[in-house]
Amino acid sequence: MIQFSKNYIILSFFHLMTFTLSAGKLIISDRGAGSIKIANFDGSSSEVLIPSAGTNVRGIATDLSMGLIFYADNGSDIIYKTKIDGSERTAIIQSGLGF
């Protein structure tokens, strides 16, 4: 769950987040909801990018030049890529991760 106010963001059950400084965004893994969310640094424009990201997202990285988000789901041992808007999710590595 993410709650926003003018001066702070309350994150409950979040696991990790990454910052996209040039885009001014937070990308947040919400373990409680099993989703990945995006919001502005000031808390505005919060939205769910990936509603079913997985049971245990362990890493998030962005490549803004390509407009992509990469993340690993430890629950299924899969690394995914998706467009920065959450569309076109593709499993890019599905075995042998061992994490």
In a domain, 99, yes or no: no
In a domain, 89, yes or no: yes
What is the domain-level CATH number for residue 54?
2.40.10.500
pLDDT tens for 5-21 read 444 444 444 455 555 55
In a domain, 79, yes or no: yes
In a domain, 64, yes or no: yes
Give me the pLDDT at residue 12, please: 43
Give me the pLDDT at residue 57, please: 82
Share of the chain above pLDDT 70, in %: 73
CA angle 60, 85, 46 (to 5 degrees): 80
Split into its structural domains, the chain has a count of: 1
Distance CA 54, CA 87 (A): 15
Residues of the chain with pLDDT under 70: 1-23, 96-99
Give the structural domain span for 79. 2-93
